[in-house]
Structure 1
Amino acid sequence: MISKKVVAFGLLSLACASHAFAAVSSQEASALGGDLTEFGAIKAGNADGSIPPYTGGLIQVPAGMDVREAKWVDPYAGEKPLFRITSENMAKYADKISDGVKKLMLDNKDYYLDVYPTHRSLAYPDDFLKATVRNATSCHTTKDGLAVEDGCRGGIPFPIPKTGNEVMWNKMLANWGDQSWESKKVSMWMLNQDGKAVLTNLMHTITEKPYYQVQLGDRPENLYSRVIGYTEGPSRKAGEINGTNQFLDPLADPRKAWQYTTGQRRVKLAPEFSYDTPMAVLGGAMFYDELFLFDGTMDRFDFKLLGKKEMFINANNFNTTFNCKVDKLFVGHHVNPECERWELRRVWVVEATLKPGMRHANSKRMYYFDEDGYTAGLMDGWDQAGKLSRTGINYSLIAPDVKAQNGASFVVYNFNRGMLAFQSDLSTDPNSTMRYIKPLRESELSPEFVSSGGLR
């Protein structure tokens, strides 16, 4: 059940002007740092204590942890599950489990949820918190929620969101840190109808969030995300380079995807890398706009904020990324539940319905994002026949020494095709490296410079 108090807080007015949504009032914003955290989560725990109060996150960095040197430590490695949810007892917890996760358990009797103690472990830098509080009364969406003003950089744009679009922007602008992110072995796996795991792509990637790199003077203000990936396998694709730039106003500056192929030896734009285009590299098991649950422009759906509720989601999940190599990662037709860590969390709930006249393979989607950090969450999708056709899980983890949250791994289940698509930064190679690095100069990140071999 969604508590009346939470619903009253979460179901804020959806009234808006035709081109811009208003920021919250000073009176509403005064709750930040009081009953609410500076980033808009409810500070108190829940009634039975299964969700603890927020006390600032994990401040004491585990011994030996330094993510800038690729040294990750799970602060909760010794914990045991509180209880297990299976298809046989899930009715007891039905209001806290998404439809897609229920279907996973019903379709796969060996799939279960091990529920661990909830740790509200995510801490944020002071500059981020100050910028987020500032944004509450000054940041606006424009163009009917499809764009965000440039002046919101440095913090979550909408700590007290009033619309579904604002929650989705909070998700896309979640704080992964202000440094660049290097992954030496990003692997993409497809689990086919026979339950066979196929490595479809192996990449070395550089990811950065210019939205948070406010200390750098050379980043375009409208650019909020950039990814550059060097393909290392399979051998037929080795040497290809892909890049994606995304902007705060995607109508004025559409998502720029580009590709360099060794055969043509030139850079070309790849506008097809968007929306419900199936990802060929993953056998069509997932869409481009399902990367990390949602990625891209929101113009094809109406996003409605339904409020907050308590849900079981994956959080503090170091296990999937660091301990479950491919020989353990998959069991039957799903991710090995031993590799997952489920916690009870308060989540923002957003319903997305396809706009009249728009085309998309999904008629409806449901999104669930953790109130403490929008990287953690779930997604369910229904096809044009109204059938539940897919579900997605983000495996988030914290980086306490740089005060950031990372979603290094995720899975999307395609129920209609009996397949899944999985991406991880580490799950295939015990010697791979995942770390934060010093940001590169803007001149070193252009497609021309990268494809010339200037950045490897």
Structure 2
Amino acid sequence: MATQYKLKTFCLALFGTLTLSAQPLMAAGIEELGKSLTPFGAEKAGNAEGTIPAWDGGYTTVDPTFKVGGKRGDPFTADKPLFSITAQNLDQYADKLSEGTKAVFKRYPDTYRIDVYPTRRTAAAPQWLYDNTIKNATRAKLVDSSAGPIPEGAYGGIPFPIPKNGDEAMWNHLLNWRGTSVSIDTRHYLVTADGTQVMTTDGKAAQEMPYYYQDGSPETFNGDYWLIRLLNVGPPLRAGEQIMGRVNLNGDKTQAHVYLTGQRRVRKLPNACCDTPTPATAGVMTFDELSVYSERLDRFKWKLLGKQEMFIPYNANKVQTAAKPGDVLDKHHLNPDYVRWELHRVWVVEAELAPGKRHQMPKSRYYLDEDTWQAMLGDRWDANGQLAKTLWSLPAVMPDIPAVAPLTSGFYDLVSGSWFVQSLYAGKESQYGIVDRYKTSEFLPAAMAGRGVR
């Protein structure tokens, strides 16, 4: 299998560099959804080389030993890597790696490695969500708002399965399917440049996506598409702190509140967006870096560059099966033994700072998996034009939902050498539990004060 990749790379070098192409999907009409295209708009067929298989409905086989609220195992433990990419053979595979990934290789040539496994197109969703996505293809449109272009008429599915521009593609990412109501018990870690591991958050969270209420509709949806409430139970310095967010399609209507134990009161955050550090990660990540990219789009001009084949983390359940966080956290990066990479087709979207706007990272590039629309990788350039940060997501297959959803994510700081892991479940008894719909009161500021006891 490695020989196939090497041969193709040689041909590319001989006849010219790989160009991004949007033609296969752009040429297909809405009538092809569910036919030559998946219900989410991905190419159903595999690639010509056979290194990407055809999509056959995804992975929906639930492990009979799985208990709701418990931990999901790795369904592909029998798989072996096809080959490994190292600093020594990096040039052979460079056309299928992001700039950020290549930068990590160059910074840590002796320890960083990518193990490439057989590609498994496991993405799946409930049928009602597929039905809504096909409806969205004809009823959804972008409209102007005080916070930039936002979707109107979309509900309960991917809003733009056949995107015409970068804004539509990024809204597909922001509204990707990851379950409706979820209970989370997880930790965040900062690893300093010298390899010191610092747990910044040990938290219990409730998460809900009203956009995916099955009994809802575009007419009844109020725009609050993502609700989150996080209670810190550790480390001791932060125990009792809380943050709650209500993220709206119109970013000007998004709200975030915090509860600090020393003040014993709930406060509204004045600027819960963009490059503002988020309290949920002890200020290590900005609001728009959560899950590779989150929140409003109006700070940038978004350009859809096209589609290409790329090695990305995928079906990364093994990370969650580790006995303890230290098994996953190496000195300068994730332990390569635990991270599964596969070859997938991705949409490439580039962001340039919009006129009159400011941001610490004025240029970015994101790689959206065609099957789920999730941003699996992201690269950010600072004001000096330096590639400063690369972000990543570790999606896990969860057939009980069914979904392939990003459980763990984070970044490598290419300037300072520090790095961060958001939502690591290693060593936890529970993981990403699907629960009944929460009460409306769970996501209101009044509910925070009673829980904020150290």
Q: Normalization by structure 1: what TM-score?
A: 0.90
Cα distance in 2 for residues equivalent to 1:193 and 1:426: 23
Match of residue 320 from structure 2:
321
Q: Retained in 1: the 8 A contact 2:244–2:443?
A: no
Mean alpha-carbon deviation: is it higher for 49-58 or for 140-149?
Answer: 140-149
Could you tell me which amino acid in structure 1 is paired with residue 55 of structure 2? Y
Match of residue 118 from structure 2:
117
Match of residue 207 from structure 2:
207
Could you tell me which amino acid in structure 2 is paired with residue 211 of structure 1? Y
Query: Deviations 1:103-145 (Å, cap 9, x if unpaired)?
Result: 1111102101000011011111110000000100110111179
Q: SS of the counterpart of 1:440?
A: coil
Q: Retained in 2: the 8 A contact 1:86–1:112?
A: yes
Cα distance in 1 for residues equivalent to 2:170 and 2:432: 26
Residue 324 to residue 299, structure 1, CA distance change in 2 (3 Å): farther
Task: Report the alpha carbon displacement of residue 441 of structure 1 after superposing the two structures with TM.
Answer: 1.8
Mean alpha-carbon deviation: is it higher for 72-81 or for 39-48?
Answer: 72-81
Match of residue 366 from structure 1:
365
Match of residue 442 from structure 1:
440
Cα distance in 2 for residues equivalent to 1:446 and 1:84: 48
Task: Report the alpha carbon displacement of residue 281 of structure 1 after superposing the two structures with TM.
Answer: 6.8
Task: Report the alpha carbon displacement of residue 151 of structure 1 after superposing the two structures with TM.
Answer: 3.1
Q: 1:166 aligns with which of 165, 168, 172?
A: 168
Match of residue 310 from structure 1:
309
Cα distance in 2 for residues equivalent to 1:341 and 1:132: 29
Q: Retained in 1: the 8 A contact 2:116–2:341?
A: yes
Structure 1 vs Structure 2 CA RMSD: 2.4
Match of residue 143 from structure 1:
144
**Identity rate, percent:** 36
Residue 387 to residue 283, structure 1, CA distance change in 2 (3 Å): farther
Match of residue 291 from structure 1:
290
Could you tell me which amino acid in structure 1 is paired with residue 24 of structure 2? F
Query: Deviations 1:368-406 (Å, cap 9, x if unpaired)?
Result: 011001235100011111111000110001211221232
Match of residue 32 from structure 2:
31
Cα distance in 2 for residues equivalent to 1:130 and 1:3: 35
Cα distance in 1 for residues equivalent to 2:93 and 2:257: 45
Q: Retained in 2: the 8 A contact 1:122–1:400?
A: no
Cα distance in 1 for residues equivalent to 2:114 and 2:431: 29
Q: SS of the counterpart of 1:162?
A: coil
Match of residue 24 from structure 2:
9
Task: Report the alpha carbon displacement of residue 430 of structure 1 after superposing the two structures with TM.
Answer: 3.6
Residue 121 to residue 165, structure 1, CA distance change in 2 (3 Å): same
Cα distance in 2 for residues equivalent to 1:454 and 1:444: 14
Match of residue 65 from structure 1:
66
Match of residue 230 from structure 1:
231
1:100 aligns with 2:115: no
Mean alpha-carbon deviation: is it higher for 356-365 or for 137-146?
Answer: 137-146
Matches within 5 A, 1:33-432: 33-66=34-67, 68-109=68-109, 110-143=111-144, 146-178=148-180, 180-184=181-185, 186-215=186-215, 221-251=222-252, 253=253, 255-279=254-278, 285-323=284-322, 325-375=324-374, 377-427=376-426, 429-432=427-430
Q: Retained in 1: the 8 A contact 2:71–2:430?
A: no
Aligned length, in residue pairs: 435
Residue 404 to residue 280, structure 1, CA distance change in 2 (3 Å): closer
Q: SS of the counterpart of 1:417?
A: coil
Cα distance in 1 for residues equivalent to 2:154 and 2:216: 16
Q: Retained in 2: the 8 A contact 1:285–1:420?
A: no
Q: SS of the counterpart of 1:394?
A: strand
Task: Report the alpha carbon displacement of residue 6 of structure 1 after superposing the two structures with TM.
Answer: 4.5
Task: Report the alpha carbon displacement of residue 79 of structure 1 after superposing the two structures with TM.
Answer: 1.0
Q: Retained in 1: the 8 A contact 2:116–2:340?
A: yes
Q: SS of the counterpart of 1:170?
A: helix
Q: SS of the counterpart of 1:335?
A: coil
Cα distance in 2 for residues equivalent to 1:215 and 1:450: 28
Q: SS of the counterpart of 1:74?
A: coil
Match of residue 23 from structure 1:
none
Mean alpha-carbon deviation: is it higher for 435-444 or for 291-300?
Answer: 435-444
Cα distance in 2 for residues equivalent to 1:5 and 1:199: 40
Cα distance in 1 for residues equivalent to 2:261 and 2:276: 23
Q: SS of the counterpart of 1:93?
A: helix
Q: Retained in 1: the 8 A contact 2:188–2:201?
A: yes
- Gapped regions of structure 2 (runs ≥ 5): 1-11
Could you tell me which amino acid in structure 2 is paired with residue 290 of structure 1? E
Cα distance in 2 for residues equivalent to 1:8 and 1:422: 36
Q: Retained in 2: the 8 A contact 1:378–1:392?
A: yes
Q: SS of the counterpart of 1:309?
A: strand
Q: Retained in 1: the 8 A contact 2:141–2:151?
A: yes
Cα distance in 2 for residues equivalent to 1:4 and 1:387: 23
Could you tell me which amino acid in structure 2 is paired with residue 356 of structure 1? P
Residue 326 to residue 363, structure 1, CA distance change in 2 (3 Å): same
Task: Report the alpha carbon displacement of residue 11 of structure 1 after superposing the two structures with TM.
Answer: 6.3
Q: Retained in 1: the 8 A contact 2:425–2:431?
A: yes
Could you tell me which amino acid in structure 2 is paired with residue 191 of structure 1? V
Q: Retained in 1: the 8 A contact 2:70–2:430?
A: no
Q: Normalization by structure 2: what TM-score?
A: 0.90
Mean alpha-carbon deviation: is it higher for 378-387 or for 206-215?
Answer: 206-215
Cα distance in 2 for residues equivalent to 1:394 and 1:292: 7
Query: Deviations 1:410-430 (Å, cap 9, x if unpaired)?
Result: 121111121111112412x34
